[in-house]
Structure 1
Amino acid sequence: MEAVSFRCLFLLFLFTCWLSPEVVAEAQESSDVSSTSQEPVRLTDVPATMELIAGAEVTAIGFFQDLEIPAVPIFHSMVQKFQDVSFGISTDPEVLSHYNITGNTIVLFRVVDNEQLYLASEELQNIDDAKLSRFIEIHSLHLVTEYNPMSVIGLFNSMVQIHLLLIMNKASPQYEESVNRYREAAKLFQRKILFVLVDSSKKENAKVIAFFKLKESQLPALAIYQTVDEEWDMLPLEDVSVEHVQSFCDGFLAGKLLRENTESEGKAPKMEL
């Protein structure tokens, strides 16, 4: 019971940090980027459906028995809004049966934690553009998910209870290379740890950084948090590498906390594993 309460309090803390109208508006605007007109992939058999799901980190599929319902054109419009999500649509009875679909349903498939999120027939009856956009935005977790007011909800709704944060300034010259290495490391911990990116240059992320007792001079840094209890750890880094990330995660999973040593010394210098 205490672990559940702490999880709720921590989630409330995150909402307090981020959910200002300006921040929410910024997150919504970032998902509204449109490009050339696209359509969901038409899925006419089970192998093609499985291939689409396996080929992307996040896949949204509309399983429809009736293509005349209002939810269908709304689903089509999502393709242009979410460039990092694969979209498919199927009316094939064999495909619907394979995924145990008995009515009009939209399902979001996530590779990172092997979860499936459903919008069933009764929910689709009152769906609109804003509601479907919010559903996809909240639940689109990737190998590396950027921290924002929307994604934090999906992170804490995941069955994966350990979250690793790379806290780093996006303007850093080392940013792109560091994130590429971070993403490679994420592949080693799929379904075990959710990898998250926190941009330290954003003012709204200051309280998150402070929660892990980190100072600006100690960044970039890794911070890891387990949602079922109060356990967390952090590690300032000179260099973000696959080896550093893997060693830090393995240590945490084994119950070794680096911060216990640095706290006893009264400081947390940058370290190399």
Structure 2
Amino acid sequence: MNMLLFSLIFLLATSVVATDTDLPSLSNVTAAEAFVEASEVAVIGFFETPSEETLGYKEFVEAARNVRPIPVALCSDKEAWAKFSVVSDTIALFRKADKHQENLQLSGIKKIEADGLTRFITMNEIRFLTEYNQVTAVGLFQSEVKTHLLLFVNRGSADYDELKDKLAALAQEFVGKVTNSSGRTPVPEFLFVLIHGVKSNEKSLGYFGLTSRDLPRVGIYDSNSDMKWLMPDGEISTERVREFCRSFLVGNLKDVKQAGPPDRKTEL
């Protein structure tokens, strides 16, 4: 066995410890950072004493089973707590799409239930391309990133999978381009959102003057200005969508007619 392979096995053995809950235990900062970095969305339960008697622990373990395949782990290492600004038992969700950490401090919850922890995770699960629904809408509109690149598409259409993969890959080009309000953490210029042409999304489509028969289409919604645009009809290629995004960023869309009915203000 060569030295590099031996070192890697040793690091994994000492950093991630199996537990009787089937959740990995992250024993140091390096392991915790690697766990977060490895996935689009990751969840860590920071428990000082992870046991059946600890407030919220059993409920967290059950919630972890409910949200598979989202990666979930435990961490009691105080250096890792300090790294992620955790001061007491906390459930933390990490999103790569907008470089965000969402904390749920357990001491501040009146009644801890597994269903509530499950909902906290699912409603904050934002990915490089996030499917829009009533649950994910919470995380999307609470995000510090207020500009959304929207893919309107009918599920099951011939080009559905291709368009999803194409835009999910493109979304990663816009991650970490600007700083957030604190001036420190890089955040993306857009959140990429998938909106299916179904009855529950008629309001969103109508806001852009669309029906399911018009799809697929691509649009931009900027909640700061409550303005919206549709990319001109035609092939939805990576190059065209990239240029559409750049046109917004340099201000060229300000003089372009908005999509949909005029003077209609609503959330998607």
| TM-score, scaled relative to structure 2 | 0.78
The corresponding residue for 1:49 is 32
2:159 pairs with 170, 174, 177, which one? Answer: 174
**Separation of aligned partners in 2, 1:53 and 1:186:** 19
Residue matched to 1:198: 195
Post-superposition Cα deviations, 1:238-266, rounded to whole Å, max 9, x if no partner, equal 43322121111111112223993697xxx
Are positions 1:227 and 2:223 aligned together? Answer: yes
Distance 1:254 1:163 in 2: 16
Q: What displacement does 1:77 show?
A: 1.8
* Structure 2 unaligned blocks of 5 or more: 1-19, 176-187, 260-268
Contact conserved, 1:234 with 1:259, CA < 8 A, in 2?
no
The residue number in structure 1 matching 2:45 is 62
State the alpha-carbon separation in 2 of the partners of residues 120 and 262 from structure 1. 42
> Which 4+ runs in 1 deviate beyond 6 A?
none
1:107 match: 92
For residue 90 of structure 1, the aligned residue among 64, 69, 75 is 75
Deviates more, 1:63-72 or 1:134-143: 63-72
Q: Of 204, 208, 212, which aligns to 1:208?
A: 204
1:126 to 107, 111, 118: 111
Cα distance per residue 1:10-48 (max 9 Å; x no partner): xxxxxxxxxxxxxxxxxxxxxxxxxxx973221001111
Aligned residues: 226
Q: Give the whole-Å Cα distance in 2 for the aligned partners of 1:99 and 1:198.
A: 33
| Identity between Structure 1 and Structure 2 (%) | 30
Contact 2:64-2:118 at 8 Å conserved across structures: no
Counterpart of 2:244 in structure 1 is 248
Residue 220 to residue 183, structure 1, CA distance change in 2 (3 Å): same
Q: Does the Cα contact within 8 Å between 2:42 and 2:71 map onto a contact in 1? A: yes
Cα gap change, 1:129 to 1:121, in 2 (>3 Å): closer
Deviation for aligned residue 1:74:
1.5
Match for residue 186 of structure 1 among 163, 171, 181: 171
Q: Distance in 2 between matches of 1:130 and 1:43?
A: 24
**Structure 1 residues 167 and 160: CA distance shift in structure 2, 3 A:** same
Structure 1 gaps of 5+ residues are 1-36, 264-273
**If the length of structure 1 is used for normalisation, what is the TM-score?**
0.77
More RCO (CA 8 Å, sep 6+): 1
> How far 1:229 sits from its partner (Å)?
1.3
Please, what is the CA RMSD of the aligned residues? 2.1
Shift of 1:147: 0.5
Paired residues of 2:41 and 2:71 also in contact (CA < 8 A)? yes
Per the alignment, do residues 206 and 177 of structure 1 end up closer, same or farther by CA in structure 2, a change over 3 Å counting? same
